[in-house]
Amino acid sequence: MFTYKKIYNTPGRIILSFYLTIMATRHWVLDPAHSDIHFKIKHLVISSVTGSFNVFSGRFVTPQHDNFDEAYFTINIDVYSIDTNNRDRDEHLKSPDFFNADEFPQIEFLSTEFKHIEGDKHTLRGDLTIKGITKEVTLDVLFGGEAKDGFGIQRAGFEVTGIINRNDFGVHAGDVTDAGGLVLGEDIKLHANLQFTNEVD
């Protein structure tokens, strides 16, 4: 954005001084090659099944150049990329019993607050949409820091953890054990390592 100020006016000549107002924001893009998104859920209460989403994208914007407070994050996940190391189970998870990927192929997170707590600890609050249902969630974030890679690209890393209830998003099937218990637990533990690169304007 440009602003200007009139310096002086002489006959037939006006000299203007232009100032370039440099916006302080920084734009970052998620690097999927150096990031991962995992989840864990109890199976028969006795152990956990771990899975991941292998296709995702994201961005974030910092309102101040070197300050991550109140940064705005967006993350999009391809439901079809779910991977629990078992093809039959993955296909079942994509079915209407669970994620219904044909009708709802994307999981979306839009942040509403990124707040510094102490040290490298932050909280990330935002709207998570799964199967067309949007709920506010709060996640814990550990800021790993910033560094330049061998190509001179500035990078920033974050470790994100949290727990959501799958029933809040309609991700459930009616399966129960012979004793009447749930085959799958209701809480899903989330864990993501996210690395962003600074987008040069």
Phi and psi torsions of 68, nearest 5° = -85, -10
Query: Which of the four pLDDT bands, split at 50, 70 and 90, describes residue 10?
Result: very low
Q: Which of 25, 26, 27, 50 is nearest to 37 (CA)?
A: 50
pTM for the complete prediction? 0.81
Query: Which of the four pLDDT bands, split at 50, 70 and 90, describes residue 71?
Result: confident
d(CA 181, CA 54): 31
If you average pLDDT over residues 191-198, what whole number do you get? Answer: 95
d(CA 39, CA 53): 9
Per-residue pLDDT tens over the stretch 102-113: 999 999 999 999
Q: Is pLDDT at 9 greater than 70 in this prediction?
A: no
Query: In CATH, what is the architecture of 25-199?
Result: Beta Barrel (2.40)
Per-residue pLDDT tens over the stretch 20-59: 334 456 899 999 999 999 999 876 556 678 899 999 999 9
Helices within the chain (DSSP H only):
87-94
Half-sphere exposure of 22 (CA within 13 A, CB side): 5
Least confident residue range of 93-102, 108-117, 150-159, 176-185: 176-185
Per-residue pLDDT tens over the stretch 89-133: 899 889 988 899 999 999 999 999 999 999 999 999 999 999 999
Contact (CB, 8 A) for 119 and 157 = no
- What is the overall mean pLDDT for the chain? 82
**For position 48, what pLDDT does the model report?**
77
d(CA 70, CA 47): 38
What amino acid occupies position 80?
A: Y
